[in-house]
Amino acid sequence: MTQKIQTVGVCGAGGTMGAGIAIVAARAGYSVICYDTVEAPLMKTVKQTEAFFQKSVERGKMSTAERDAVLARFDRTTDIGALAKCDLVIEAVFENLEVKRKLIGRLDEICPPHTIFGSNTSTLSITEIASGCSRPERVVGMHFCLPAQLMKLVEMSPGILTSEATFQAAWDWTVGCGQIPVKTQDKPGFILNALLVPFNNDAIRAIEAGVADAAGIDTAIKAGLGYKMGPLELIDLIGLDTQVRLCEAFYPITFDPRAACPPLLRRMVAAGLLGRKSGRGFYSYAGNAMFGA
Protein backbone atom coordinates (compact mmCIF):
# COMPACT_ATOMS: atom_id res chain seq x y z
CA MET A 1 0.00 0.00 0.00
CA THR A 2 1.47 3.39 -0.91
CA GLN A 3 -0.25 6.51 0.29
CA LYS A 4 0.14 10.06 -0.92
CA ILE A 5 2.91 11.75 1.01
CA GLN A 6 1.68 14.93 2.70
CA THR A 7 3.46 15.23 5.99
CA VAL A 8 7.18 14.64 6.30
CA GLY A 9 9.14 14.12 9.51
CA VAL A 10 12.84 14.88 9.83
CA CYS A 11 14.74 13.30 12.72
CA GLY A 12 17.91 15.07 13.79
CA ALA A 13 16.46 18.27 12.37
CA GLY A 14 18.68 20.33 14.67
CA GLY A 15 21.73 18.98 12.83
CA THR A 16 23.50 20.12 9.70
CA MET A 17 21.84 17.69 7.31
CA GLY A 18 18.45 17.47 9.00
CA ALA A 19 17.95 21.23 8.86
CA GLY A 20 18.72 21.23 5.14
CA ILE A 21 16.46 18.28 4.37
CA ALA A 22 13.60 19.98 6.23
CA ILE A 23 14.04 23.04 3.99
CA VAL A 24 13.93 20.83 0.87
CA ALA A 25 10.65 19.24 2.01
CA ALA A 26 8.95 22.48 3.09
CA ARG A 27 10.03 24.30 -0.08
CA ALA A 28 8.31 21.58 -2.11
CA GLY A 29 5.03 22.21 -0.29
CA TYR A 30 5.06 19.52 2.42
CA SER A 31 4.20 20.02 6.05
CA VAL A 32 7.40 19.25 7.94
CA ILE A 33 7.73 18.08 11.49
CA CYS A 34 11.27 18.76 12.67
CA TYR A 35 12.24 16.45 15.50
CA ASP A 36 15.42 16.39 17.56
CA THR A 37 16.18 15.04 21.01
CA VAL A 38 17.81 18.33 22.00
CA GLU A 39 15.89 21.59 21.89
CA ALA A 40 18.71 24.13 21.57
CA PRO A 41 20.01 23.08 18.13
CA LEU A 42 16.46 22.67 16.89
CA MET A 43 15.63 26.24 17.87
CA LYS A 44 18.84 27.49 16.29
CA THR A 45 17.58 26.24 12.93
CA VAL A 46 14.55 28.57 13.15
CA LYS A 47 16.70 31.65 12.51
CA GLN A 48 18.82 29.83 9.90
CA THR A 49 15.73 28.67 8.03
CA GLU A 50 14.17 32.13 8.10
CA ALA A 51 17.43 33.62 6.83
CA PHE A 52 17.57 31.05 4.03
CA PHE A 53 14.10 31.85 2.75
CA GLN A 54 14.67 35.60 3.23
CA LYS A 55 17.62 35.25 0.82
CA SER A 56 15.28 33.53 -1.63
CA VAL A 57 12.97 36.55 -1.45
CA GLU A 58 15.88 38.94 -1.95
CA ARG A 59 17.01 36.96 -4.97
CA GLY A 60 13.54 37.16 -6.46
CA LYS A 61 12.98 33.40 -6.17
CA MET A 62 9.87 33.74 -4.00
CA SER A 63 7.47 36.40 -2.80
CA THR A 64 7.14 37.41 0.84
CA ALA A 65 3.75 35.69 0.91
CA GLU A 66 5.33 32.48 -0.34
CA ARG A 67 8.07 32.82 2.27
CA ASP A 68 5.51 33.20 5.03
CA ALA A 69 3.58 30.21 3.70
CA VAL A 70 6.64 27.99 3.59
CA LEU A 71 7.75 29.02 7.09
CA ALA A 72 4.27 28.22 8.38
CA ARG A 73 4.72 24.62 7.19
CA PHE A 74 7.45 23.94 9.82
CA ASP A 75 6.65 22.36 13.16
CA ARG A 76 9.42 21.77 15.67
CA THR A 77 9.33 19.25 18.48
CA THR A 78 11.38 17.19 20.89
CA ASP A 79 8.48 14.76 21.26
CA ILE A 80 8.91 11.78 18.97
CA GLY A 81 5.19 11.05 19.30
CA ALA A 82 4.50 14.08 17.09
CA LEU A 83 5.80 12.06 14.14
CA ALA A 84 2.74 9.81 14.28
CA LYS A 85 1.07 11.76 11.49
CA CYS A 86 3.97 11.49 9.04
CA ASP A 87 3.77 9.67 5.72
CA LEU A 88 7.52 9.85 5.28
CA VAL A 89 10.15 10.20 7.99
CA ILE A 90 13.76 10.92 7.02
CA GLU A 91 16.36 10.38 9.69
CA ALA A 92 19.58 12.40 9.77
CA VAL A 93 20.70 11.60 13.32
CA PHE A 94 24.21 10.68 14.48
CA GLU A 95 26.06 8.28 12.21
CA ASN A 96 25.78 5.34 14.58
CA LEU A 97 24.12 2.05 13.69
CA GLU A 98 22.64 1.44 17.13
CA VAL A 99 21.23 4.98 17.38
CA LYS A 100 19.67 4.75 13.94
CA ARG A 101 18.38 1.18 14.41
CA LYS A 102 16.78 2.10 17.72
CA LEU A 103 15.21 5.22 16.26
CA ILE A 104 13.71 3.34 13.33
CA GLY A 105 12.40 0.72 15.77
CA ARG A 106 10.73 3.42 17.83
CA LEU A 107 9.25 5.11 14.73
CA ASP A 108 7.93 1.72 13.68
CA GLU A 109 5.86 1.65 16.88
CA ILE A 110 4.61 5.22 16.55
CA CYS A 111 3.89 5.71 12.85
CA PRO A 112 1.02 4.23 10.85
CA PRO A 113 1.79 1.16 8.74
CA HIS A 114 2.05 3.08 5.48
CA THR A 115 4.82 5.43 6.69
CA ILE A 116 8.08 5.18 4.80
CA PHE A 117 11.38 5.61 6.64
CA GLY A 118 14.29 7.19 4.77
CA SER A 119 17.86 7.17 6.09
CA ASN A 120 20.44 9.79 5.24
CA THR A 121 23.33 7.58 6.37
CA SER A 122 26.64 8.07 4.57
CA THR A 123 28.45 4.93 5.62
CA LEU A 124 26.03 2.46 7.21
CA SER A 125 23.98 -0.26 5.54
CA ILE A 126 20.32 0.47 4.88
CA THR A 127 19.55 -3.21 5.40
CA GLU A 128 21.19 -3.16 8.83
CA ILE A 129 19.42 0.05 9.86
CA ALA A 130 16.11 -1.50 8.73
CA SER A 131 16.74 -4.61 10.81
CA GLY A 132 15.48 -2.75 13.87
CA CYS A 133 11.88 -2.63 12.74
CA SER A 134 8.96 -4.78 11.63
CA ARG A 135 8.67 -3.15 8.19
CA PRO A 136 12.08 -3.35 6.52
CA GLU A 137 10.27 -3.25 3.18
CA ARG A 138 9.45 0.40 3.97
CA VAL A 139 12.99 1.56 4.71
CA VAL A 140 15.04 3.22 2.00
CA GLY A 141 18.39 4.99 1.73
CA MET A 142 18.14 8.70 0.87
CA HIS A 143 21.61 10.17 0.98
CA PHE A 144 21.49 13.93 0.49
CA CYS A 145 24.64 16.00 -0.05
CA LEU A 146 25.85 18.87 2.11
CA PRO A 147 24.30 21.46 2.04
CA ALA A 148 21.06 19.62 1.29
CA GLN A 149 19.09 22.78 0.58
CA LEU A 150 21.48 23.69 -2.25
CA MET A 151 22.74 20.36 -3.60
CA LYS A 152 20.40 18.51 -5.95
CA LEU A 153 21.92 15.04 -5.74
CA VAL A 154 20.32 12.30 -3.64
CA GLU A 155 21.79 8.78 -3.72
CA MET A 156 18.90 6.40 -3.19
CA SER A 157 19.38 2.80 -2.24
CA PRO A 158 17.01 -0.04 -1.51
CA GLY A 159 18.00 -2.41 1.29
CA ILE A 160 17.72 -6.16 0.65
CA LEU A 161 14.10 -6.18 1.83
CA THR A 162 12.96 -2.77 0.53
CA SER A 163 9.87 -3.14 -1.67
CA GLU A 164 9.71 -1.77 -5.21
CA ALA A 165 6.67 0.31 -4.25
CA THR A 166 8.49 1.95 -1.33
CA PHE A 167 11.52 2.72 -3.41
CA GLN A 168 9.38 4.18 -6.17
CA ALA A 169 7.32 6.31 -3.78
CA ALA A 170 10.46 7.71 -2.13
CA TRP A 171 12.02 8.27 -5.56
CA ASP A 172 8.94 10.13 -6.83
CA TRP A 173 8.85 12.24 -3.69
CA THR A 174 12.52 13.17 -4.17
CA VAL A 175 11.97 14.12 -7.81
CA GLY A 176 8.88 16.11 -6.78
CA CYS A 177 11.06 18.11 -4.39
CA GLY A 178 13.21 19.19 -7.35
CA GLN A 179 16.10 16.92 -6.36
CA ILE A 180 17.99 14.65 -8.75
CA PRO A 181 18.10 11.08 -7.43
CA VAL A 182 20.46 8.34 -8.57
CA LYS A 183 19.93 4.68 -7.77
CA THR A 184 22.67 2.70 -6.06
CA GLN A 185 22.99 -0.63 -4.31
CA ASP A 186 23.18 -0.72 -0.51
CA LYS A 187 26.99 -0.87 -0.39
CA PRO A 188 29.51 0.99 1.78
CA GLY A 189 29.74 4.60 0.62
CA PHE A 190 27.16 4.11 -2.13
CA ILE A 191 28.67 5.81 -5.21
CA LEU A 192 30.05 9.14 -4.06
CA ASN A 193 32.00 8.14 -0.99
CA ALA A 194 32.98 4.77 -2.45
CA LEU A 195 34.84 6.65 -5.19
CA LEU A 196 35.92 9.67 -3.19
CA VAL A 197 37.31 8.27 0.05
CA PRO A 198 39.94 5.98 -1.57
CA PHE A 199 40.81 8.69 -4.10
CA ASN A 200 41.46 11.19 -1.32
CA ASN A 201 43.54 8.60 0.52
CA ASP A 202 45.57 8.00 -2.63
CA ALA A 203 46.33 11.73 -2.80
CA ILE A 204 47.63 11.60 0.79
CA ARG A 205 49.70 8.51 -0.05
CA ALA A 206 51.20 10.35 -3.03
CA ILE A 207 52.48 12.97 -0.58
CA GLU A 208 53.81 10.20 1.69
CA ALA A 209 55.58 8.66 -1.31
CA GLY A 210 57.22 11.98 -2.16
CA VAL A 211 55.57 12.22 -5.59
CA ALA A 212 54.67 15.90 -5.09
CA ASP A 213 53.47 18.29 -2.40
CA ALA A 214 49.82 19.05 -1.66
CA ALA A 215 49.75 22.19 -3.80
CA GLY A 216 51.34 20.33 -6.72
CA ILE A 217 48.84 17.48 -6.51
CA ASP A 218 45.85 19.82 -6.27
CA THR A 219 47.08 21.99 -9.13
CA ALA A 220 47.61 18.93 -11.32
CA ILE A 221 44.09 17.67 -10.66
CA LYS A 222 42.46 21.06 -11.16
CA ALA A 223 44.37 22.08 -14.28
CA GLY A 224 44.42 18.59 -15.79
CA LEU A 225 40.78 17.70 -15.25
CA GLY A 226 38.96 20.96 -14.65
CA TYR A 227 37.95 20.07 -11.08
CA LYS A 228 37.05 23.05 -8.92
CA MET A 229 38.98 21.72 -5.95
CA GLY A 230 41.93 19.40 -5.52
CA PRO A 231 41.65 16.35 -3.23
CA LEU A 232 43.77 17.86 -0.46
CA GLU A 233 41.84 21.12 -0.47
CA LEU A 234 38.69 19.03 -0.24
CA ILE A 235 40.00 16.99 2.71
CA ASP A 236 40.89 20.26 4.47
CA LEU A 237 37.31 21.38 3.90
CA ILE A 238 35.57 18.22 5.11
CA GLY A 239 38.02 17.82 7.98
CA LEU A 240 40.94 15.40 8.33
CA ASP A 241 39.20 13.80 11.32
CA THR A 242 36.12 13.16 9.16
CA GLN A 243 38.34 11.51 6.54
CA VAL A 244 39.77 9.23 9.28
CA ARG A 245 36.23 8.32 10.36
CA LEU A 246 35.25 7.52 6.77
CA CYS A 247 38.29 5.23 6.45
CA GLU A 248 37.37 3.53 9.70
CA ALA A 249 33.82 3.01 8.47
CA PHE A 250 34.75 1.53 5.11
CA TYR A 251 38.01 -0.36 5.51
CA PRO A 252 36.81 -2.97 8.06
CA ILE A 253 33.94 -3.83 5.70
CA THR A 254 35.59 -3.71 2.30
CA PHE A 255 39.24 -4.48 3.18
CA ASP A 256 40.08 -2.34 0.19
CA PRO A 257 43.68 -1.20 0.85
CA ARG A 258 42.86 2.15 -0.79
CA ALA A 259 40.21 2.75 1.89
CA ALA A 260 42.67 2.13 4.74
CA CYS A 261 43.64 5.25 6.66
CA PRO A 262 47.04 6.57 5.47
CA PRO A 263 49.49 6.90 8.39
CA LEU A 264 50.19 10.55 7.52
CA LEU A 265 46.49 11.40 7.91
CA ARG A 266 46.39 9.82 11.35
CA ARG A 267 49.53 11.67 12.43
CA MET A 268 48.14 14.99 11.24
CA VAL A 269 44.92 14.46 13.17
CA ALA A 270 46.94 13.54 16.27
CA ALA A 271 48.82 16.83 15.84
CA GLY A 272 45.54 18.74 15.73
CA LEU A 273 45.80 19.56 12.03
CA LEU A 274 42.15 19.02 11.12
CA GLY A 275 41.92 21.28 8.08
CA ARG A 276 40.07 24.58 7.72
CA LYS A 277 38.24 24.25 11.01
CA SER A 278 41.50 24.15 13.01
CA GLY A 279 43.29 26.68 10.81
CA ARG A 280 45.73 24.16 9.41
CA GLY A 281 45.64 20.90 7.51
CA PHE A 282 47.42 20.30 4.23
CA TYR A 283 47.37 24.10 3.94
CA SER A 284 47.47 26.87 6.52
CA TYR A 285 44.56 29.27 6.75
CA ALA A 286 44.75 32.77 8.11
CA GLY A 287 41.44 34.54 7.59
CA ASN A 288 40.39 33.57 4.09
CA ALA A 289 43.91 33.27 2.78
CA MET A 290 45.41 29.86 2.13
CA PHE A 291 49.07 28.98 2.37
CA GLY A 292 50.82 25.76 1.42
CA ALA A 293 51.46 23.87 4.67
Ligand X SMILES: NC(=O)c1ccc[n+]([C@@H]2O[C@H](COP(=O)([O-])OP(=O)(O)OC[C@H]3O[C@@H](n4cnc5c(N)ncnc54)[C@H](O)[C@@H]3O)[C@@H](O)[C@H]2O)c1
Active site residues per annotation: 122, 143, 155, 193
Residue with the closest Cβ to ligand X? Answer: 15
User: Any alpha helices (H) in the chain, and if so which ranges?
Assistant: 16-27, 39-58, 64-72, 97-110, 126-130, 164-176, 192-208, 214-225, 231-238, 240-254, 263-270
Per CB under 8 A, the segment of 44-52, 66-74, 145-153, 163-171 that binds other proteins is 145-153
Stretch that binds other proteins, among 4-12, 19-27, 115-123, 151-159 (CB under 8 A): 151-159
The verdict on 44 binding other proteins (CB under 8 A) reads no
Q: Mask: binding to other proteins, 240-279, rule CB under 8 A, as x and -?
A: -----------------xx---------------------
Minimum Å gap between C-beta 236 and ligand X is 14
Q: Which long-range contacts (CB under 8 A, 24 or more apart) does 245-250 make?
A: 245/95, 246/122, 246/123, 246/189, 246/193, 246/197, 247/197, 247/201, 249/95, 249/122, 249/123, 249/124, 249/188, 250/123, 250/188, 250/189, 250/193, 250/194, 250/197
Q: Is residue 15 involved in binding ligand X (CB under 6 A)?
A: yes
Residues paired with residue 181 on neighbouring β-strands, in sequence order: 154
Closest CB 188 distance from ligand X, rounded Å: 12
| 14 interacts with, out of ligand X, other proteins, none, CB within 5 to 8 A per kind | ligand X
* Closer to other proteins by Cβ: residue 187 or 276: 187
